[in-house]
Structure 1
Amino acid sequence: MNNRRNWLKQIGLGTIGLGFIPFETFANPFAEDYILPDFDNSPILLRSNENPYGPSPLARAAMEKSVNNSNRYGWDLWSELISAIAKKNNVSDNNILLGAGSTEILDVVLQYSALQKGNFIMAETSYDYWTASSEKLGIKKITVPLTQDRKHDLTAMLKAIDSDTKMVYICNPNNPTGTICDREKLVSFINEATKKAIVFVDEAYINFTKEESLSNLVIENKNLIITKTFSKLYGLAGARVGYAIAHSETIEQLSILKSSTNMSVSVVSASAALASLNDEKFIQQVYSSNNEVKKYTIDQLTQLNLTCIASHSNFIYFSLENYKKDYFKQLENHNISGTKIYEENGKWTRITIGTMREMQLFIAALK
């Protein structure tokens, strides 16, 4: 334990995982009235649901301090981060598995599900970039349409489970629609579905809501796996830090599929993640700003006669059906990067919520 503390102190992170920030040179380089930056970005990137404000002040300081220790493996640091994550989610250390972003966790769970050939079920439309390798792994993807209001149809998904189903994937809140499942209905679904298959819940955007994580359910349920990430609210998309929360026996099985259990997270990235968990001021500012800018953007899109889906995330799903101009050309002409059409019927697309200035420029581009 002393060796761990000494190593962490060298990079300015000593005892952060225990909820303390004891080093004044680390904790106080930023004023109490720190204001979220509004960068003059060009191009304006509104395509990947990134946090437009960057990493938190404490995370930036931690990253700078940890660079000099990048010649060493971060055994103790990884353990400290796991403990901090476990505490944050009210589970034990052996319920956590680190990954290079939640994408690596998605890949590992897909591999785990494919150990016994069959199928997996997910909604259409949902986050599916990670599923491209499913056929090569010998597991078939089955999609279930969303409801008319763009929510997961849990009843239909439950009915779709058959004897060959190995896993059901639910992105909650859902990407790209921004909708969220009713918690009581989702828990009921999990209780039934996990009798037959793994239920994999992606909570990448849960921190943009007041909804409670489902993490407490993994203590008793071996067939429930949850993934979370530091990419979105915490502003560490490029640092690549994500994690799985699952029953301890399930974590053991997932770990076998990784050549090095937690080593895909670098010392610099782990330091940033650990510090981020303690920067509550920054997190609250990002949360509040996202809601403020989201409301402004939805109001403006509505005034342009564009239908929006109520969003529980840091992006907005809206229809271009009534838009008379070439939407993507308008973005290109104003050096704004958006995404694509997700549903041809209704011309539904998604836009990330940037800073207020960025979204004002986005709206101006559409006009």
Structure 2
Amino acid sequence: MNNRRNWLKQIGLGTIGLGFCQFETFANPTKEFILPDFDDSPVLLRSNENPYGPSPLARAAMTKTVNTSNRYGWKLWPELITLIAKKNNVADNNITLGAGSTEILDLVLQYTASKKGNFIMAETTFDYWTAPYEKLRLKKIMVPLTKDKKHDLPAMLKAIDSETKMIYICNPNNPTGTICNREELVSFINEASKKAIVFVDEAYIDFTKEQSLSDLVIENKNIIITKTFSKMYGLAGARVGYAIAHSSTIDEINTLKSTPNMSVSVVSTAAAMASLNDEDFIQKVYVTNQEVKKYTIDQLIQLNLTCIPSYSNFVYFSLENYKKDYFKQLEDHNIQGTRIYEENGKWTRITIGTLKDMQRFIAALK
């Protein structure tokens, strides 16, 4: 622990004084960190990235650690695990690291796919990771969302059969931005985990005031939770994620990796450690996201577009009443959005960028 304290002091994590400033200045403290803001630069509103970048402390940590990238992070990886465990009120042996939550998804795939069967998920959810499951001949069972775009937990429970290996819950859900009632979700997990692995993706939980389900893993071996530094912490390109599970489950998952935790670079590890110490930045991201999201939803409603209440850093809305060619409008204004997720209602998703980004987005729609 003394090594970590000394390292934190060296890069200024414990004593840096940030003062009062506008948030975008706070997120970009010196010009050397700012990309040129040309009028013709695309507005990136497709991948739910944090538009304010890594925190100032994370940037300082990455800059400092670049010079030690010729060495493996044998000392740093355990320190990051300790910080993560403390944040989630679990023990170190309840955590394993991955290069983003994508690697965790792949590891859970390997863990659950040792025997053929099926897996269950919502019909509209984060599904880019499912192709390898199907190639391994695991049948995908899709359970439609409720009318208000939430997970239909009772229906998902009924869909479980003797062949079910895993149930995936993205909470808050991507792309809808909806969230499960905690009491109902805990009840569902307690029942479903008697029959299969319940995998809860909490990539966006930091954009809410909801409590993580991490406390459930202490006693239950059939719950795996994944979290990421890609979203709230602005480290999507740095690739840092982790799984939280029962210690015996973590041990089994780790056997699927030649060297557990080693896929996270030294620079990314340092950034993640620093990010966990930058509460001021995280609070500013949270508040600003809420404000800009409200502006965006209000403007979309004024355009007579139906929006789903969002517990995330994106908005799910219907193009059913939109008379123009939405995707042509985005293209003409150099804005990168995403796709239609549900043809019935023409539902799409847009990431919440900076206020300037969203003003440009709304202007493009008008």
Do the two structures share a fold, i.e. TM-score over 0.5?
A: yes
Please name the residue that 2:144 is paired with: 145
In the aligned structure 1, how far is the partner of 2:322 from the partner of 2:43?
21
The 8 Å contact of residues 27 and 58 in structure 1, kept in 2 or not, is answered as no
2:98 maps to 1:104: no
In the aligned structure 1, how far is the partner of 2:163 from the partner of 2:178?
28
Cα offset, 1:140, TM superposition: 1.4
Deviation sequence 1:135-165 (CA, Å, 0-9, x none):
2223111110000100000000000000000
2:238 maps to 1:239: yes
2:85 maps to 1:86: yes
Please name the residue that 1:338 is paired with: 337
Please name the residue that 1:19 is paired with: none
Secondary structure of the residue aligned to 1:37 is helix
Please name the residue that 1:18 is paired with: none
Cα offset, 1:13, TM superposition: 3.0
What pairs up with 1:1-367 in 2 under 5 angstroms? 5=3, 8=4, 13-14=7-8, 22-23=9-10, 25=12, 27=14, 31-37=18-24, 40=37, 42-367=41-366
In the aligned structure 1, how far is the partner of 2:223 from the partner of 2:307?
32
The 8 Å contact of residues 11 and 60 in structure 2, kept in 1 or not, is answered as no
The 8 Å contact of residues 177 and 308 in structure 2, kept in 1 or not, is answered as yes
Of 32-41 and 271-280, deviating more is 32-41
In the aligned structure 2, how far is the partner of 1:148 from the partner of 1:236?
34
Deviation sequence 1:108-129 (CA, Å, 0-9, x none):
1011110111000000100000
The 8 Å contact of residues 30 and 57 in structure 1, kept in 2 or not, is answered as no
Deviation sequence 1:216-272 (CA, Å, 0-9, x none):
000000000000000000000000000000000000111111122000000000000
Cα offset, 1:36, TM superposition: 2.5
The 8 Å contact of residues 13 and 277 in structure 2, kept in 1 or not, is answered as no
Of 134-143 and 111-120, deviating more is 134-143
In the aligned structure 1, how far is the partner of 2:13 from the partner of 2:198?
41
Secondary structure of the residue aligned to 2:64 is helix
In the aligned structure 2, how far is the partner of 1:288 from the partner of 1:330?
29
Unaligned runs of 5+ in 2: 26-33
The 8 Å contact of residues 118 and 164 in structure 1, kept in 2 or not, is answered as yes
In the aligned structure 1, how far is the partner of 2:283 from the partner of 2:13?
20
Deviation sequence 1:266-311 (CA, Å, 0-9, x none):
0000000000001000000000000000000000000000000000
Task: Say if 1:250 and 1:26 are closer, same or farther in 2 by CA, change over 3 A.
Answer: closer
The 8 Å contact of residues 319 and 348 in structure 2, kept in 1 or not, is answered as yes
How many pairs are equivalent?
354
CA-atom RMSD in angstroms = 1.4
Of 212-221 and 256-265, deviating more is 256-265
State the AA in 1 paired with 2:151: H
In the aligned structure 1, how far is the partner of 2:240 from the partner of 2:289?
21
State the AA in 1 paired with 2:71: R
TM-score (norm 2): 0.94
Deviation sequence 1:3-40 (CA, Å, 0-9, x none):
xx1xx57xx734xxxxxxx3474555663224332773
Cα offset, 1:171, TM superposition: 0.1
Please name the residue that 1:17 is paired with: none
In the aligned structure 1, how far is the partner of 2:7 from the partner of 2:313?
29
Cα offset, 1:172, TM superposition: 0.2
State the AA in 2 paired with 1:237: A
Cα offset, 1:169, TM superposition: 0.2
Secondary structure of the residue aligned to 2:156 is helix
Indicate the percent of aligned positions where both proteins have the same amino acid. 76
State the AA in 1 paired with 2:97: L
State the AA in 1 paired with 2:125: S
The 8 Å contact of residues 13 and 271 in structure 1, kept in 2 or not, is answered as no
In the aligned structure 2, how far is the partner of 1:335 from the partner of 1:24?
38
State the AA in 1 paired with 2:7: L
The 8 Å contact of residues 13 and 274 in structure 2, kept in 1 or not, is answered as no
Unaligned runs of 5+ in 1: 15-21
Task: Say if 1:91 and 1:29 are closer, same or farther in 2 by CA, change over 3 A.
Answer: closer
In the aligned structure 2, how far is the partner of 1:29 from the partner of 1:331?
41
Task: Say if 1:118 and 1:68 are closer, same or farther in 2 by CA, change over 3 A.
Answer: same
Secondary structure of the residue aligned to 1:69 is coil
